[in-house]
Amino acid sequence: MPFSKHTGNKTRPNMNPEIRPVTSPAELRQFINFPFQLYKHDPNWVPPLKSSEAAWLSPSKNPAFQHSEVACFTAWDGNQLVGRVAAILNELETERLGAKHVRFGWLDFVDNPAVSKALLDAVAAWGKQRNCTVMKGPYGFNSLDKNGMLTEGFDQLGAMTTLYNFPYYPKHLEALGFEKELEWLEMRAILPKPFPSKITQAAALVRKRYKLTVKRPSNKMEMIRLGGLFFDMLADTYKHLPTYVPISPAQQAFYVKNYIGMLPPKFVCTVEDEQGETVGFGITMPNMAKAMQRANGSLLPFGFVHLLLAQYFTDNGDLTLIGVKEEWRKRGVHSIIFTEIGNTFLQMGYKYFNVNPMLEHNQNVLTLWKEFDHQVHKRRRTYFKNI
């Protein structure tokens, strides 16, 4: 039976889905291709690059497999694929928590409770075999992956860096006894011209008081050299958060090569003290959602062109990641980073900017939004359940 617009499916109410482990390259391609079928009529879904998904789920390409065990499952109704999920056990997280938690990610399913139950039961059984006591998600391997299920904002265009799902997803999880673990907010703001004087004046005052300097990488090679610094700062900034999972050196190199190193340098800034020590950084990017939709999962034949030109053919930018050392967080460094980001976006002619998911209690950043005409346009949540 064909999938329908918005509801995601037309399925038999008495379905008894068969769960199959993914064990071959052909089955992994089915796993990766499933959402392209499920969401093909939804104008707000942003397709990932299939090659990136394959690399992310490949033990030979993704260094996360050096300290993680992963199992992928698909659900079938006869010869029709109706769902998928990945189970992840990250040893670095186990060491940090002192307990084994099985993560579920890459979760997609048709609107049938039997399918979502069968998929998550498979994750629970896999986790129990490895002495896990909790299952939680949606999560990737760590905090830089796509995490959190959309609970509000289904009518908003998705993003390259976040998950998208139908409105029935959280209803299914809650019916299965999953509880709220953490909640994130995503904001969208009108970019004022000029940038708000209250923020720019605060940034100037902070720079003068603490003798801080803003620097930007001059080329992509310098961006790559800065990669290790970013991850040190990331650990310092987010190590106290419940979602933080240490990122191995091999993983760091993987992220730098495939993501940070590919950003135009003008979208990155660092803040240094008078000794030349970095106390904060900001990483931004053009909003790539429409370019990713045009690419439709492939760089060929013209997908790479859409992505290369995205920075010039969008009216909004994404604030991807901000990191500030703990001892500097209450000294106004965020205002410096926001000012630099805002001015870059204004120079590009952008009219709006978006903030990637941030925890609902992140007051250091939330307070800055008072100066903007903004709205919380999406919410997302991770769930947990004892097993």
CB 187 within 8 A of CB 355: yes
Run of H or E including 25:
helix 25-38
- The reply to whether 386 falls in a domain is no
pLDDT attached to residue 304: 59
pLDDT tens digits along 156-171:
999 888 999 999 999 9
Tell me the C-alpha distance between 21 and 78, whole Å.
15
pLDDT attached to residue 360: 81
- The reply to whether 3 falls in a domain is no
192 Ramachandran zone, left/alpha/beta (phi>0; psi -120 to 50): beta
Question: What residues pair up with 271 in beta bridges, in sequence order?
Answer: 214, 280
DSSP string of 260-271, one letter each residue: GGGS-GGGEEEE
Determine which of 9-18, 140-149, 338-347 has the lowest per-residue pLDDT on average.
9-18
Residue range(s) defining the domain that contains residue 288: 193-371
Number of structural domains the chain divides into = 2
Average pLDDT on 325-350 reads 91
pLDDT of 1 higher than 80? no
Taking Cα atoms as reference points, which of 27, 47, 28 lies closest to residue 37?
47
Amino acid type, 377: H
Confidence band for 2, pLDDT divided at 50, 70 and 90: very low
Confidence band for 9, pLDDT divided at 50, 70 and 90: low
pLDDT of 206 higher than 60? yes
Tell me the C-alpha distance between 377 and 153, whole Å.
6
- The reply to whether 285 falls in a domain is yes
Average pLDDT on 255-263 reads 73
CB 348 within 8 A of CB 179: no
pLDDT of 4 higher than 70? no
Residues 122 and 54 in one domain: yes
- The reply to whether 350 falls in a domain is yes
Comparing 107 with 282, which gets the higher pLDDT?
107
pLDDT attached to residue 15: 84
Tell me the C-alpha distance between 241 and 236, whole Å.
10
pLDDT attached to residue 6: 45
**CATH number of the domain within which 49 lies:** 3.40.630.30
Distances (CA, A) of 379 to 33, 140, 188, 244, 360: 26, 18, 12, 19, 9
CB atoms within 10 A of CB 368: 20
Residues 178 and 197 in one domain: no
Residues 113 and 40 in one domain: yes
Largest CA distance in the chain: 68
Question: What residues pair up with 184 in beta bridges, in sequence order?
Answer: 359, 380
pLDDT attached to residue 263: 76
Residues 160 and 209 in one domain: no
Residues 217 and 332 in one domain: yes
Residues 131 and 204 in one domain: no
Q: Which residues contact 280 (CB under 8 A, 6 or more apart)?
A: 233, 270, 271, 322, 323, 324, 325, 328, 333, 334, 336, 337
pLDDT attached to residue 7: 46
> What mean pLDDT value characterizes the chain?
89
Residues 77 and 95 in one domain: yes
Cis bond upstream, residue 25 (ω within 30): no
pLDDT attached to residue 135: 98
pLDDT of 370 higher than 80? no
pTM for this entry: 0.89
pLDDT tens digits along 35-83:
999 999 999 999 999 999 999 999 999 999 999 999 999 999 999 999 9
pLDDT attached to residue 171: 98
Q: What tokens appear for 155 in the block?
A: 């009518």
Residues 218 and 364 in one domain: yes
Residues 27 and 142 in one domain: yes
Average pLDDT on 354-364 reads 78
pLDDT of 128 higher than 90? yes
Confidence band for 368, pLDDT divided at 50, 70 and 90: low
pLDDT of 237 higher than 80? no
Q: Classify residue 277 as exposed, middle or buried by CB count within 10 Å of its CB (0-12, 13-18, 19+).
A: exposed
- The reply to whether 8 falls in a domain is no
Residues 345 and 307 in one domain: yes
Q: Give the DSSP letter of residue 73.
A: E
Q: What tokens appear for 244 in the block?
A: 């933080």
Residues 286 and 326 in one domain: yes
